[in-house]
Structure 1
Amino acid sequence: MQSLLKAAREAGTGLPPVERWHPEYCGEMDLVIKRDGSWWHEGVRITRDRLIRLFATILRKDDDGIHYLVTPVEKIGIEVEVAPFLAVRVDAVGEGREQSLIFTTNMDELTEAGPDHPISVSIDPVTGEPTPLVHVRGKLEALMTRPVFYELAERAVEHDGKTGVWSGGVFYPLGDDDGDDGDA
């Protein structure tokens, strides 16, 4: 498990430096990343995994809340329904306050939840459904799949009157956290 922790801490190396690229905006592309993690272009599902993974390496979310595909020479807006990635697995290293939660995305990226990679959970006021997210890189997040969220719920503990999980020294409530990124 320590090798998994090491890999999560080294994640993101080797990816294009999209945060440093500032090309001109070239308009929008009819590309949608749906809530279930599927990618659609002009109404047709993209089934070529290598193409999706390539696009994922040049994906960025800016301060305007819009997701873009970015190269050194162009910046194209796309639609993301919830989050561009899915957290499809979670592994725990350690226990209690010393625990680290390592998430694996559908793009095989690893991220260790903690101060630089917070967990957030919002609750839909109409349906009561949770939207659990974990920060991956830049301003990009992964939506936790139902089994991953259930696994977090099984690991949940009480702290300061809230139910949640510890990771990287931070407590993350699993209910509506009112925008709070947790308590150190």
Structure 2
Amino acid sequence: MGETTKPGLDGVIAAAKQAPGRGLPPVHLWNPAHCGEIDIVIRKDGTWFHEGTPIGREALVRLFSTVLRKDPDGFHLVTPVEKMKITVEDAPFIATRVDAEDGALKFMTNVGDEVVAGPENAIRVEMDEASGEPRPYLHVRRGLEALIARPVFYELVELAQERQTPQGPQLGVESNGAWFPVGPAGAHQL
């Protein structure tokens, strides 16, 4: 996508730019009447594509991420006047960094969000049925999650401590007063 934008994207860009500072637009309060689809895909690796071409402008991807909303029928870019459905292959964001500070785990996403894991922003790990590999996620905001990048997940495993759970001994990490398992009970003993 070059320096120009398609007509359907102009409203999204204008709405996102109205957010004060790094604040997020109140997309959860917007209920526009006009709905449609736009050919934007967020791939599993976190790359955003428009009409089959990667969106190379990082600032534009960050802008779009601020007006992203997850509804029961899928993911949408939302403005006060329109709501356009997009495709998300896995999670819309990637957690690319973690720092352990003062009993909390602070994550950075590929779109510039800083998220402290805790009761409001849980870490969850699913096991891929086909490969048996862990698929770790972090809640970012309002149902939107970040896939935790593999190197970041390895850091979490290094920080993990064993706890006794009703399912047996389990490795997990603590952040902001909440404890999160990083794998199934007993998996670290195999």
Using structure 1 for the length normalisation, give the TM-score.
Answer: 0.83
User: 1:163 — aligned with what?
Assistant: 171
Q: Matches of residues 44-55 of structure 1 in structure 2 within 5 Å?
A: 44-55=53-64
Task: Measure the CA separation in 2 of the matches of 1:142 and 1:153.
Answer: 17
1:165-184 matches, within 5 Å, as 165-176=173-184
| 1:109-148 equivalence runs, <5 A | 109-148=113-152
The structure, 1 or 2, with the larger RCO (C-alpha pairs under 8 Å, 6+ apart) is 1
Q: Secondary structure at the match of 1:148?
A: helix
Post-superposition shift, 1:27?
1.7
Answering whether residue 151 of structure 2 is matched by residue 151 of structure 1, we say no
1:90-109, aligned counterparts within 5 Å?
Answer: 90-94=98-102, 99-109=103-113
Could you tell me which residue of structure 1 aligns to residue 43 of structure 2? 34
Q: What residue in structure 1 maps to residue 14 of structure 2?
A: none
Residue 130 (structure 1) shift: 1.3
Counterpart in 1 of 2:71? 62
**Identical amino acids, percent of aligned pairs:** 54
State the number of aligned residues: 161
2:96 is aligned to: 88
Contact 2:170–2:184, Cα closer than 8 Å, also in 1: no
- Please name the residue that 2:23 is paired with: 14
| 1-structure distance, mates of 2:24, 2:57 | 20
Change in Cα spacing, 1:45 to 1:19, as seen in structure 2 (3 Å) is: same
2:78 counterpart of 1:74: no
Cα RMSD after superposing both structures: 1.6
Q: Which 4+ stretches in 1 moved above 6 angstroms?
A: none
Give me the TM-score of the superposition, normalised by structure 2.
0.81
SS at match of 2:162: strand
Q: Please say which of residues 149-158 and 40-49 is displaced more in the overlay.
A: 40-49
Give distance in 1, aligned partners of 2:77 and 2:130: 32
Tell me the SS of whatever aligns to 2:23.
coil
SS at match of 2:63: helix
